[in-house]
Amino acid sequence: MSGGVDSSVAAALLKRDGYEVIGVFMRLGSPDGVEIAESSNSDGKKHKQGCCSVLDAADARKVAGVLDIPLYVLNFQEDFGKVINYFVDEYNRGRTPNPCVRCNDWLKFGKLARYAEAVGADFVASGHYARIGDDPATGEQSLMRGVDHKKDQSYVLFGMTRVTLEHTLLPIGAFEKSVVRQLAQEFKLPTFNKPDSQEICFVPNQDYAGLVKRRSPENFREGELVDSAGKVVGSHEGHQQFTIGQRKGVGVAFGYPIYVVDIDPASNRVTIGERSALMKTKLRAKQINLLSSRARDAHDLKCVAKIRYNSPPASASLNVVGDDEIEVTFDEPQTAITAGQAVVCFDGDIVLGGGWIEEAIE
């Protein structure tokens, strides 16, 4: 229970349906001096950009009181520090990380799942907009997209194991967000009108490069900005300030739109060019997790794939090319396929699986 409306309603629905519900709040803290980012709303109150702030803990306690369920606070500060370290390390490697997926894999459906097993709980439940149902093609239990495709979060859950999947409940995945808020009012939950969490919780003012620099100043050094022909056109203070596809804040003007098209951490060189240089049709991914048996020996398996959380699904083919490697080939070129992001493949609403992008290969 993060203190938001979604997990609050998830708990209320489970209680209504007769489950014995144990509320758990993950205390993430501020490891190694990282301040959990907060912002002020128009009412002057502080609200965290992500989940699990001090204010969120107070809201979770209020909801637990309304529902008459116990609430336990678990200290995940050390584990959360690993998520932040991963975030910093990826930027230093010239990649663009997705800490929300890692947080789900390592904490919510990793350590928390082990805690649930230790206390004798049958399931871990969360307020994610995703579903668990049977794949009509195989009959096996599958992770599925949420009914509200605008809020769907199945992408960030692709890394859960099949064992975890079988012990997971996603109570709000069958509802639109507007209905969830209505249910919160019907249940008289104090979080019914709480704003949605936004952005990454541990990055103050969304200054990613600033966080990385504070955590690893020795990795920041001046480097060259070059065009697609290799001509030096400017300089930068650290490649960690850039991500593939970035247009704003590049630091030079050509009189037409230019984008970051390549980052070489070894030479500390950042290449800029036109949008056409970002268009690729194929990618290679490792650290794969194939949830569907249909995907485990895939050869030209037709699917749709997402290369980032907010990107629309695009028609593609999936191939397994090694024990821990897949290739995804798109029917049409995609913009800014980015190393460090996840690629997730779907058949309709069924999550087939995915992996972590290594490179765009053509």
The residue behind tokens 């400017």 is: 234
**Among residues 51, 52, 100, 201, which one is catalytic?**
201
Q: Any catalytic annotation for residue 103? A: yes
Residue 303 designated active-site: no
Instruction: Check 51, 52, 100, 103 and give the catalytic one.
Output: 103
Residues marked as catalytic? 103, 201
